Amino acid sequence: MSSPPSLLPVTGIRWGTASAGIRRSKRDDIAILDCSPGTQTAVVFTQNRFQAAPVRLARMNLNKTSPRALIVNSGCANAGTGERGYRDAWRVCEAAARALGISAEEVLPFSTGVIGELLPVEAMVEAVEPCAGNLRADAWLDAAHAIMTTDTMPKGVSVRTELHGRAVTVTGIAKGAGMIRPDMATMLAFIATDASVRREVLDSCLRQAVARSFNRITVDGDTSTNDACVLLATGAAGHPEIARTDDAAYPQLAQAVQSAATALAHAIVRDAEGGTKFVEIAVSGGATEKDCLQVAYTVAHSPLVKTAFYASDANWGRILAAVGRAVVPTLDIQHVSIHINDQPIVHNGDVAPSYNEAAGQAVMAQEDLRVCIDLGAGDKREVIWTCDLSTEYVRINAEYRT
C-alpha cells in the first residue's frame, strides 16, 4: 500500500484543513468540506447503540435540510459524552456555519478518535475560521491527512467514467486502521461525484456500494461508535439527472462508486493496525449467503487463525476448526474443501492428497492470501477482507492514549 500521489477534484466540492491541536499540536486535525448549492447527499451511519454525539446530530440535520458542508475532526470521537457532547458538536456546527455563511442545520459533523473524552470546543471553534479560509478544490489529500488517527498514510481514490456522454469523476477519501468491523460503513469515508443524481437514487447507490465494500471488511471485529460514509453528488458534470435506478446510466454510476468504495475498504485493511498480511476469505457453496458470511467472519475473527497468518505458520487446522464452529446448523464437514491461494489444503473434510508441510509453509509466507472455502451445500458465495493479528496491534492499542 502507498499513499495516492494525487486525487482528482470534483467540481462543486472544496476542502479546507487546519490544526486545533486536539492530539498533536503540529498536525492538521480539522477538515471542512464545502459543497455547492443543489448538491445531493446520502449517508449511512454506524449501527452501534452508543452512537456518538456527531452521529446523532448529523442524522437530525440530514433529515431537516440539504447539507451544504461537513466538518470533520480527528483525535476525539465525542462519543459517550451525553448531552454535553451533543451541545459541543452543535457549537462546532455553528462556528462552521458562521464561517461559511450558511445555517448550522446545513452542517453535518463527524468525529473520530478517543471515546469518552470531551471535545476541546474552544480550540476547535478557533480553528474553524482558518480552516474555512483555505478551501480548495484540490485539497482532497490534505483532508485525508487531517482525518487520520492511527492510520500510517492517507487513503484516497479517484475513478473516471462516462454518463450520458459526459465525463464524470468520483473521488473519495477514508480513514480507519483499528476498531474495524463496520455495520454500515467504515470508520469515516467521504466520496463525491459531479454526476447529477436524485437523492433517493444516490441513497440506493451508496447502500449498494457499502454492502459489498465497507460492510465486507474486518480488522479486529469491533464496530465503532462513529462510523459514517457520505456520498455527495454536485450535478456539475452537466448530464441529464439520473432519477431512477433503471436509468440506462445508473449501472455505470453504481460501478464507479462501488469501485471507489472497494478501493478505500481494501486500503483500510492493508493499513490495519500492526497488519502485515492482506487476507481475502472467499466462501462458496453455501446454502445461503448468511451461511457463507457466518463461516467467513468466524475464520476472520479467530485470534488463532489471525496469529497463524502473522507467523506465516501453516497451521491449517485452526482454519478448519473455525469453519467447524461457525453457526451453520446444516454444515456437513465431509463436503468442505479449503484452498489458500493455489494450494489445496482440505478436500472433502480431510487433508488434501497433494498437501505437504513445505507447500503449506510456502503459501503462508506470502503477503497476500486468498482463503477459499467451499461448503459444498449450494450455490451462494460471499467474500470478505481481513488481516493478520500481530504484536504491533497489541502495542498500538495498549498505548493508544499514552
Give the tens place of pLDDT for each residue, 31-66: 999 999 999 999 999 989 999 999 999 999 999 999
- Band (pLDDT 50/70/90 cuts) for residue 187 is confident
- Band (pLDDT 50/70/90 cuts) for residue 24 is confident
161 is catalytic: no
Looking at residues 382-391, what average pLDDT do you find? 97
Contacts of 101 (CB under 8 A, 6+ apart): none
Three cell numbers written together for 208: 449498494
| pLDDT beyond 80 at 402 | no
| pLDDT beyond 80 at 217 | yes
- If one compares 185 and 128, the residue with the highest pLDDT of the two is 128
Write down the domain spans for the chain: 13-270, 278-398
- Band (pLDDT 50/70/90 cuts) for residue 390 is very high
Looking at residues 3-15, what average pLDDT do you find? 94
Report the range out of 185-189, 296-300, 328-332, 395-399 with the highest average pLDDT: 296-300
**In whole angstroms, what is the distance from residue 281 CA to residue 292 CA?**
10
pLDDT above 70 coverage of the chain, percent: 99
Looking at residues 149-175, what average pLDDT do you find? 97
What is the pLDDT, as a whole number, of residue 4?
86
Looking at residues 216-228, what average pLDDT do you find? 93
Q: Looking at 112, 171, 186, 386, which residue is catalytic?
A: 186
What is the pLDDT, as a whole number, of residue 119?
97
Q: Which CATH architecture has domain 13-270?
A: 4-Layer Sandwich (3.60)
CATH of 278-398, one of 3.40.50.720, 3.20.20.140, 3.30.428.10, 3.10.20.340: 3.10.20.340
Average pLDDT over the chain, rounded to an integer = 96
What is the pLDDT, as a whole number, of residue 186?
65
**In whole angstroms, what is the distance from residue 170 CA to residue 209 CA?**
13
- Band (pLDDT 50/70/90 cuts) for residue 80 is very high
| pLDDT beyond 70 at 305 | yes
Contact 181, 221 (CB under 8 A): yes
